[in-house]
Structure 1
Amino acid sequence: MMHADLIDQEDLRERLNAIGLAIPSGASAEQACAQAVSGLSPDRAVALRRVVEELLGGSATLLPAVREAVSRTLLPALVPKPK
C-alpha cells in the first residue's frame, strides 16, 4: 500500500506561519497566499521564495486548490520587477 504526501491548505498555512506570516486557521489556500504577499518585504520575499521552491520542487503532491493559489498569487508576486 502506497502513501502519498499531500500538501493541503492547512499544510500551506503552517509553512507560511513558520516563516513569520500570521495566517489564521481556516484560511483557504487562496486567502493564505493573498495574505502572504500583502506588504511583502524583501526579507520576507526571500523566505517566501524558499517555501514556494520547497512546495513545487518537493516530492509531495499539492492539492489542486493549493497549486492553483501558489501559481496565481505567490509566483507572480515573487517575480523580480524590472528596474
Structure 2
Amino acid sequence: MMHADLIDQEDLLGQLKSLGFQVPSGSTAEQACECAVRGLNDERANTLRTMIKQMYTSSATILPAVRQAIDKQLLPALTAYQQSRSA
C-alpha cells in the first residue's frame, strides 16, 4: 500500500508496471528490477533514470530491500547500458 512517506516493494512494482515494464505480480523488489532492465533501450533507460531520480529525491523513505534492489540491479544496468552506448 502506498504511503506518502514510504516506498515499499509493492510501490516499486506498481511504479514499474505503470511505466509499462512487464513485472510479474508477487515479484520481489530484486526480481522486479531484473525484469525492468531486460532489453534496455534509450526510452526504457531514460524512464528508469527518471523514476529512480524521483524516488531518491523525494521526501519518502525507501525501504532497505527496495533501495538494495535499485542499487544492485537498476543502477549498474543503467551504467553498463550508458557505457555501451558511448563506446
Give the structure-2-normalised TM-score.
0.86
Cα offset for 1:4? 6.5
Contact 1:37 1:74 in 2 (8 A): yes
Which structure is richer in relative contact order (CA contacts within 8 A, separation 6 or more)?
Answer: 1
Provide the rounded CA distance (Å) in 2 between the counterparts of 1:58 and 1:15.
14
Q: What root-mean-square deviation, in Å, do the aligned CA atoms of Structure 1 and Structure 2 show? A: 1.4
Q: Percent identity?
A: 52
Query: What is the match of residue 15 of structure 1?
Result: 15
TM superposition outliers: structure 1 runs of 4+ over 4 Å? none
- Whether 2:64 is the aligned partner of 1:64: answer yes
Q: Which has the higher helix share?
A: 2
Give the structure-1-normalised TM-score.
0.90
Q: Report the secondary structure of 1:46's partner residue.
A: helix
Provide the rounded CA distance (Å) in 1 between the counterparts of 2:56 and 2:50.
10
Contact 1:23 1:35 in 2 (8 A): yes
Provide the rounded CA distance (Å) in 1 between the counterparts of 2:34 and 2:16.
11
